[in-house]
Chain A
Amino acid sequence: MLWLYINFPSLQLDSLQVSKGKCVAGQQLTDSQAIVIVDEHKNSIVQLNASAIKQGVKVAMGLAMAASLADELCVFPYKIAQEEAYLMTLAEQLYSVSANIALFPPHGLALQVDNMLKLYQNLEHYVEAVHSVITPFKLKAFFACGYSPFSAQVLACADINLISSEEKTIAAAMSVLSVEDLFISKKAREDIIRLGIKTIAQLQALPISELATRLDTHTMDYLSQLNGNKSKCLTFYQAQHFFEHSVDLLYEITVSDLLLHPIKQLLLLLEAFLLRRDYLCLEIKLALFNRAEGPSDAIQQSLLISSATGEYLAKQWLNLVSLKLANVKLDAPITKINLCVKKFQPNTGEIDDIFLGRKGQLSLAQLSSLLVNKLGHNKVLGIRLGNDHRAELASHYFPIINHGAINSIGNKSDKKHQQSKVTQAISHSTYSYSTCSDSTIDCLPLRPSFILSEPEPLLAEVNILSGPERIETAWWEQSSLKYQGANATVDKPQSYPRDYFVAKNAQGQCCWIYRELSNHWYVHGYFS
């Protein structure tokens, strides 16, 4: 079986530089800045960029040595989890061109080639397709073929680019490599060298039974896998059902506008993810991590951005994100951004009338998601009838985009009423315009256009135009109030019955006033 192994020797460094490239260049870092990634446990440099090499820094050098060689060295700790996460991103992208992807964390991938050749005709076409996926990430990578994943790995990790399906070529390339390049334990390596064996060719010339007496089973297993005689169970990449990606920033961002650049990258990934599955998403969650002070990697701020229509386009989401970010105050510099989407819906396609066309740039749902993200869920409202005869309950607002968490915090007053009414109102909302014929409209009682949320005491002199109209309490609520006893008084029940009048005051305003049984007068609304 032919395998293609891709080795990314400086995955963490390259992933950091991708984020830099898109950010407004050179705030603190220019291209000439030397960047190194240091393994904290071994105190040795594992990855470094070109400008660091120019200044004489080398891999496996100590940090102190490197610091003395290069001025203004930019140091990042080596994070294996970060590399593995990025490797998964790459695997996800490669999954679109190749079926079997074996993961070799932290920075390698093996693709099974032979079963893909039916699709791609020959190896060159296949490798071209793989390249086209990898190139946009601007990573340093080595591609090597082999008749077992391990032989390909040995080649790629020895920094050899070898694209060939010929066994002889591969064997020739393998044979010159030293045993140092094999992935075996240090002890086994020493054993082999002590035998006087320096290259892989020498090792392969010996009969297996001879070697077995000198080497442990682990090494023997590995050697037989290297030759392709034995296959080991590999961990293959499996496509995930949700989207989660992060971007680590090369430097801290304090201005929310600058955050949009790395966020755009994430959204483009999301777009590719959604497009491939023909999905839309209604909500995305952005988590902004700040500099790990105190509890490490505590989520600094979490933003929930929602859209009324499902969207997949990065452009649309970026628009909504920028609106949301405009209202967000960053408390601390941001070092990492995470985008997580868990819920999707299939893209059913919007049906637009071909003859009417679309007049404006936006659909209603797009407009409302625009407004909601800028102003907040509780400020963009629709209106509907309540199933009640009392004026303050007869009509109420509801958020256009229903958002569970926000909704429950929702209105401060009448909360209790609202919640009990909402369920009724949903069933009742059919009694809106559609069922109201002209005759029923005429029968509707005269009601003001504006209702005051808190009735105000009537202070000025008025002329009464019409009335009275008596409105009583709903008996079921009165009984429930009685039942609750002391608790109910806390809720400040509105006193009923009331006699309502239409009146005009000195300024000519048409007021809707009422008199309680106690003979107190209040203004409840205006006929604007």
Chain B
Amino acid sequence: MNKMLKQLHHQGKIWSADQIHNIVETIDSGYPELNKNLHGGLPHQGVIEVQTINGIGEIRLFLPYLLNLLQAELAQHHQARQLVFIAPPAQVNALMLLQAAIPLDNLLIISSQKPQESLWAAEQCLKSGCCFAVLLWQQLLAVHQVKRLKQAATTGNAVQIIFRSPHSVDLALPVSLSLALEAQSSGLKIKVKKQQGGWPCKDFTVDMHKQWPNLTTISDRNCISDGVLSNVVVPLSSRQRFKPVVPGSVNAQSQLN
């Protein structure tokens, strides 16, 4: 038995809890809630999977983080590497990027239509060492593809963020971090589906009102659980029946009490 354990440990198949601190190097995400739940921030390199519908603030969630990466590079090397958008769902707007203080010279956009091409381009960009982050919109992913991206990201010291629609086929992908996003009036509700070197945590809400006052309402603790459901007209009696289904609401109320 002991021999077997040793062998497994040698093969790297056993993860021991004391490895937690040196596994993932993180950087400030710009949102205190996110930093708190993800042990200091988002990973410095690796593959991040984001399950979300488009247009609820998924890019806004990562903008401060990308900017932090960029500035860290500037501080260290006096020159920044590229940020790459691969197969974005619509035309990227330069004004938004300027607003986020991301210089346009550091952008590369690849408008490929075929998923295979997108993956190839992502791997090349990561591997090249001249891109610090690659944002990829891709629906289907296989385990070996993610592994290759991860390997490439390590080679080029870059981060790969993959945006997928929610409820995509849920394989156990070897990503560093997997998040599922849901829209809220004050920001985003985040479910951490997987976190390398971290314990599972409860769903939490990221307040984006400070950064984006025009797009969000001031967070109100009472309506944390609302979000999507508030837009659906549901009779009062049946609404009560809904409540236990949403775990966040129960927590919020218990916290208030």
Residues of A within 8 A of B (CB): 356, 358-364, 366-368, 370-371, 374-375, 379-385, 391, 394-397, 400, 432-434, 436, 438, 441, 444-453, 463, 465-466, 502, 504, 506-511, 525-528
Q: Taking the complex as formed, is B107 at the interface, i.e. its CB lies under 8 A from any CB of chain A?
A: yes
- Chain A nearest CB, measured from B118 CB (Å): 9
A381 to B217: give the CA distance in the assembly, Å: 36
Q: Are A526 and B129 in contact (CB under 8 A)?
A: no
A-B contact pairs, 15 of them (CB 8 A): A358-B129, A375-B110, A375-B112, A379-B110, A380-B110, A383-B107, A384-B94, A394-B93, A449-B60, A450-B90, A451-B93, A507-B53, A508-B227, A527-B57, A528-B57
- Contact of B45 with A by CB under 8 A: no
8 Å CB interface, B106-155 against A: 107-112, 117, 120-121, 124-125, 127-131, 155
Partner of B108, one of A368, A433, A441: A368
Q: Does B228 make an interface contact (CB < 8 A)? A: yes
Q: Does B103 contact A (CB under 8 A)?
A: yes
**Chain A residues with CB below 8 A from B94, complex form:** 383-385, 394-396
A175 to B194, CA, bound (A): 93
Q: Which residues of A have CB within 8 Å of B91?
A: 395, 397, 450-453
Given A370-B124, A433-B103, A527-B96, output 4 extra A-B contacts at Cβ < 8 Å.
A363-B130, A385-B95, A444-B98, A502-B215
Given known contacts A385-B98, A508-B228, is B129 in contact with A362 (CB within 8 Å)?
Answer: yes
> Closest CB-CB distance, B250 to chain A, in whole Å?
21
A381 touches B82 (CB 8 A): no
Q: Which of A434, A441, A450 contacts B55 (CB 8 A)?
A: A450
Knowing A450-B55, A451-B90, A528-B58, the reply to whether A383 touches B97 (Cβ < 8 A) is yes
When the two chains form their complex, are residues A447 and B93 in contact, meaning their CB atoms are under 8 A apart? yes
Name the A residues within 8 Å of B53 (CB-CB).
507-509
Interface SS majority for chain A: mixed
Tell me, in angstroms, the Cα distance from A449 to B120 when the chains sit together: 25
The residue on B at minimum CB distance from A466 is: B214
From B99, B101, B217, B228, name the one whose CB has the most chain A CB atoms within 10 angstroms. B99
Residue of A nearest to B88 (CB): A450
The docked-state distance in angstroms from the alpha carbon of A506 to that of B182 is 12
B117 with A374: CB separation less than 8 A:
yes
Contacts of A383 in B (CB 8 A): 92, 94, 97, 104, 107, 109
CA distance A359 to B154 in the complex (A): 12
Are A508 and B182 also in contact (CB < 8 A) when A359-B157, A360-B155 are?
yes
Do residues B90 and A452 form an inter-chain contact, with CB atoms below 8 A? yes
Once bound together, how far apart are the Cα atoms of A396 and B129, in whole Å? 26
B104 touches A371 (CB 8 A): no
Give the chain B neighbours of A506 by CB distance below 8 A.
228, 231-232
Contacts of A441 in B (CB 8 A): 98-99, 101
Whether the pair A362, B130 counts as a contact (CB closer than 8 A) is yes
Tell me, rounded to whole Å, the shortest Cβ–Cβ distance linking A38 to chain B. 48
Nearest chain-B residue to A431 (Cβ)?
B98
Closest 10 CB pairs of A and B: A360-B129, A508-B183, A395-B94, A526-B55, A433-B103, A509-B55, A450-B90, A447-B95, A362-B128, A528-B59
Are B184 and A508 within 8 A (Cβ)? yes
How many residues of B sit at the interface, in one of the four size bands?
35 or more
CA distance A526 to B184 in the complex (A): 16
* A residues in contact with B217, CB < 8 Å: 465
Q: Are B124 and A449 touching (Cβ within 8 A)?
A: no
Distance of B188 from chain A, by nearest CB (Å):
9
- Chain B 206-249 against A: per-residue CB contact (8 Å), 1 yes, 0 no? 00000010110100000000011001100000000000000000
Interchain CA distance A32-B124 in the complex, whole Å: 45
Please indicate the chain A residues that have their CB under 8 angstroms from the CB of B96 in the complex.
447-449, 527
CB-based contact A444/B95 at 8 Å: yes
Q: Smallest distance from the beta carbon of B235 to chain A beta carbons, Å?
A: 18
Report yes or no: A450 in contact with B215, Cβ–Cβ below 8 A: no
Partner of A361, one of B98, B129, B214: B129
**A395 to B231 Cα, complex, angstroms:** 34
Within 8 Å CB of B253, what residues of A? none
Contact check: which of A359, A375, A448, A502 meets B156 at CB < 8 Å? A359
A447 to B156, CA, bound (A): 32
Determine if B36 is an interface residue (Cβ-Cβ < 8 Å): no
**Complex: A396 Cα to B109 Cα, angstroms:** 11
Q: Is B105 engaged at the interface, CB distance under 8 Å to the other chain?
A: yes
- Does B10 have its Cβ within 8 Å of any Cβ on chain A? no
A509 to B214 alpha-carbon distance, docked (Å): 14
Contacts of A447 in B (CB 8 A): 93, 95-96, 99
- List of B residues within 8 angstroms of A379 by Cβ: 110-112
Contact across chains for A509 and B130 when beta carbons are under 8 A apart: no
CB distance from A500 to the nearest CB of B (A): 12
Q: Which residues from chain B contact A361 at a C-beta distance below 8 Å?
A: 127-129
Residue ID in chain A nearest B120 by CB atoms: A374
**In angstroms, how far is the closest chain A Cβ from the Cβ of B1?**
45
**Is B104 within 8 A of A433, CB to CB?**
yes
Measured in the bound complex, the distance between the Cα atoms of B92 and A21 in whole Å is 51
Contacts A374-B120, A375-B121; A436 near B93 (Cβ below 8 A): no
Does chain A have a CB within 8 A of B200? no
Q: Are A381 and B109 in contact (CB under 8 A)?
A: yes
A510 — which chain B residues lie within 8 A by C-beta?
55-57, 215
> Which chain B residue lies CB-closest to A507?
B53
Cα–Cα distance between A375 and B117 once the two chains are bound (Å):
7
Complex Cα spacing A375 to B185, Å: 40
The reply to whether A356 and B112 contact each other, CB–CB distance below 8 Å, is: no
B77 close to chain A: CB less than 8 A: yes
B-side contacts of A400, CB under 8 Å:
108
Which residues of the partner chain A approach B184 to less than 8 Å between Cβ atoms?
Answer: 508
Q: How far is the CA of A360 from the CA of B102 in the complex (A)?
A: 22
Verify A527–B60 contact, CB threshold 8 A: yes
Alpha-carbon separation in the docked complex, A449 to B99 (Å):
10
User: Which residues of chain A are near B103, meaning CB under 8 Å?
Assistant: 432-434
Which residues of the partner chain A approach B131 to less than 8 Å between Cβ atoms? Answer: 367
The answer on a CB contact under 8 Å between A395 and B124 is: no
CB-CB under 8 A from A504, the residues of chain B are: 183, 185
Q: Which of B54, B56, B101, B130 contacts A360 (CB 8 A)?
A: B130
Is B32's beta carbon under 8 Å from chain A?
no
B86 to chain A, nearest CB (A): 10
Q: Nearest-CB distance from B75 to chain A (Å)?
A: 13
Task: Name the residue of chain B whose CB is nearest to the CB of A452.
Answer: B90
- Specify which chain B residues have a CB less than 8 angstroms from the CB of A508 in the assembled complex: 53, 56, 182-185, 227-228
